[in-house]
Amino acid sequence: MSPALEARGVALSFGETPALRGADVTIDTGEIVAVMGPSGSGKSTLLHCLAGILTPDAGEVHALGRRIDELSEADRSELRRDKFGFVFQFGQLVPELTAEENVALPLLLAGVRRDPALARARAWFERLGLDGLGKRRSGELSGGQAQRVALARALVGEPAVVFADEPTGALDSLTGEQVMDLLVDAARRQGTTVVLVTHEARIAAYADREVMVRDGRVTTPAVTS
């Protein structure tokens, strides 16, 4: 079986500032991998390249059996819509939509009819301790509630890969652990591959293994957590 994700010699600069300097990493299907490193090391940039959000200046990125750094932006957008889920530190919910509409959004974009999409979205609210909040908009949710809505949005379409960039960074310890328990449980049940960027050892401990990024390179091999 081919890896779910692979970066080969990936390099990327922002202007004169190099962010990645030949990064290599391989992530197997169904694996949960924590990407760690100090601030500015390039770990989030690596995640964005693996997800097809950024295109590297050099090297190759492979996802789900396809080389994606050579795809058009339209094809990468389709891949992200259909196969990937995303959780970022501050949720990035659409403020004009209700919580349940935010969760249903990936399904609606994929062509699922509104009523079935909302029904699937609502099923996540009890699991995440969000009962009664489906009609609220993001401005009416606490930071922890909004992040759990964002997690449900990432998982509702049963993606092949979930990219989580500091997903518990805006949460208290207890809520963060609850979110990670849910993420890991869903990933195990669905066979989802998870790429988790974090600087917290207690969050990285949920992963199958860790990789370290320093100065734009993956400087250590996989280490069992």
Per the DSSP assignment, residues forming a β-bridge with 17 are 14
- Residue pair 8/56 in contact (Cβ under 8 Å)? The answer is no
Map out the domains of the chain with their CATH numbers: 5-224 (3.40.50.300)
Q: Is the pLDDT of residue 223 over 50?
A: no
**DSSP SS3 for 217:** strand
- Regarding pTM above 0.75, the answer is yes
How many other β-carbons are positioned within 10 Å of the β-carbon of residue 98? 20
Q: Residue range 192-219: average pLDDT? A: 92
Mind listing the pLDDT tens digit for each residue in 51-79? 999 999 999 999 999 999 999 999 999 99
Mind listing the pLDDT tens digit for each residue in 91-141? 689 999 999 999 999 999 989 999 999 999 999 888 888 889 999 998 898
**Closest among 26, 1, 22, 5 to 13, alpha carbons compared:** 22
